[in-house]
Each structure stands twice: as structure tokens, then as C-alpha cells.
Amino acid sequence: MGSSAIIQAKLVLLGDLGAGKTSIVVRFAKGLYYECQESTIGAAFFSQVLALDEATVKLDIWDTAGQERYHSLAPMYYRGAAAAVVVFDITSTDSYVRAKRWVDELQRQGNPHLVMALVGNKVDLQERRQVGTQEAMDYAEANGLFFTETSAKTAQNVSELFYELGKRLLSQLQFCELLCCRVGHHLTVSVLVHCQLKGW
Ligand SMILES: Nc1nc2c(ncn2[C@@H]2O[C@H](COP(=O)(O)OP(=O)(O)O)[C@@H](O)[C@H]2O)c(=O)[nH]1
Ligand SMILES: [Mg+2]
């Protein structure tokens, strides 16, 4: 893959209401943080470009609402996604339990090549921590997920999270290099995954 290659990839953020999904993406896309971030209604869209050594990755980010009443809409957002970020709040065991349910759902319904991250957010609130780092790390490892802890408030590990996902998306595509050349420089990851599944 040449450095002029542009890869377009759909990324979806899932997790409990209040875990910090919108705050993470707003921190990453705009460099801002709001103490009173408004709840997301339905879903919100952000487009962000990552300039990596090997290629440019254009992320189409879908930030979903966490409420149960929007749950039935979720497949619309994770279908065709190349990457999924499941967020929980380290100060809430409930949000961690629900994050694991999202992982289960993605594993059941999603594509087998999905690049997935589990993110423990609000790491600035150490004194209120309810979910241990090691516990979440062990769960993530057992399920083949990338794990990190972030703070949208202090920006800790936020851009690192998206760059790591970008790198993982690219390394998954390395072996499709020949195909990329044949198709042209601008292609979407979901097209490649499709090709891969069909064995082209
Ligand atoms: N202390 C702290 N608060 C956060 C952090 N991220 C989000 N919040 C707050 O948690 C609340 C819910 O955040 P929001 O991004 O709306 O969560 P979402 O429902 O998952 O999108 C808001 O009041 C945010 O200001 C964080 O890293 N640290
Ligand atoms: Mg939100």
C-alpha cells in the first residue's frame, strides 16, 4: 500500500449512556471537552482523517446513543463497520457489564474481520474506580479486543486510541495490497472485507 493510498473506514462507537462516547469523539475530532455534554439523540456523525505512514485513513465515525430505547437502531450503525469502539465508564460496574453485552452482540452479528476496541473511560476519576484495569484487560485479551483506558476530560489516550485503530485497520489490509493496486487508490474497507470473504 503506497503512502498515497486513501482508505475509508466506518467506525462505530457503542456503550452505555453517559460512558463518554460523545466526549471521546468530540475530544478527538475537535480537541474540546464539555462538562455537560448533551445526550446524543439517535446518532451523530463525525468525519476524521488520520495521516499514517503507510496510508491516509478517513474515518467515518458514528457515535450512537446509549439508551435502551435506541438499541434496535444499533445494527444500522455497526453493519458495514470496519471498526467498533465499545466504551464503558470505569466508575460504573453497570456500564462495564453492558459493554460486555455489546461485545457479545458484535461477535454474534458483526463481521468476523471487525477491528474492535474496549475502552474504559473517565480514568481521571481514579478515586471512584469500580472496574479494575486488569479485569478489563484480561477480558479484552480473551476476546481478541484492543483495550485502553482514556479520559476525554484530560485527553489521556484519546488520539492514541484512534491511531491504534487506524494502524490495526491497515495491517489487516496489508495482504490485500495487490487488490488495492488493481482497484485504485480510493477504496473502502468494507469493499475489501467483502472481497476477502468472497476469496477474490
Ligand atoms: N470526569 C470525566 N467525565 C467525563 C469524561 N468523559 C465524559 N464525561 C462526562 O460524562 C457525561 C456523559 O458524557 P457523554 O460523552 O455525553 O457520554 P455518552 O452518553 O456515552 O455519549 C458528561 O457530563 C461528560 O462531561 C471523562 O473522561 N472524565
Ligand atoms: Mg452521546
180 pLDDT exceeds 70?
A: no
35-44, 100-109, 116-125, 188-197 — which is least confidently predicted? 188-197
178 pLDDT exceeds 70?
A: no
CA of 137 to the centre of ligand 2 (A): 24
Per-residue pLDDT of 61-89, as tens digits, reads 999 987 777 788 888 889 889 999 999 99
Distance CA(146)–CA(45), nearest Å, equals 23
The residues near 121 (Cβ < 8 Å, ≥ 6 apart) are 19, 20, 23, 24, 87, 88, 89, 90, 149, 150, 151, 152
Ligand lying nearest the CA atom of residue 122: 1
Ligand lying nearest the CA atom of residue 121: 1
Distance CA(73)–CA(131), nearest Å, equals 28
pLDDT of residue 104: 96
Quick one: fold of 6-198? Answer: Rossmann fold (3.40.50)
CA of 114 to the centre of ligand 2 (A): 22
**147 close to 117: Cβ distance less than 8 angstroms:** yes
The radius of gyration computed from the CA coordinates of the chain, to the nearest angstrom, equals 17
Q: Report which of 35, 4, 5 is spatially closest to residue 22, judged by C-alpha positions.
A: 35
- What does pLDDT average to over the chain? 86
The residues near 86 (Cβ < 8 Å, ≥ 6 apart) are 14, 15, 99, 102, 103, 106, 116, 117, 118, 119, 145
Q: Sign of torsion, CA 164 167 173 175?
A: negative
188 pLDDT exceeds 70?
A: no
Per-residue pLDDT of 75-133, as tens digits, reads 888 988 999 999 999 999 999 999 999 999 999 986 778 899 999 999 999 999 999 99
CA of 15 to the centre of ligand 1 (A): 12
127 lines ligand 1 (CB under 6 A): no
Domain locations in the chain?
A: 6-198
pLDDT of residue 199: 42
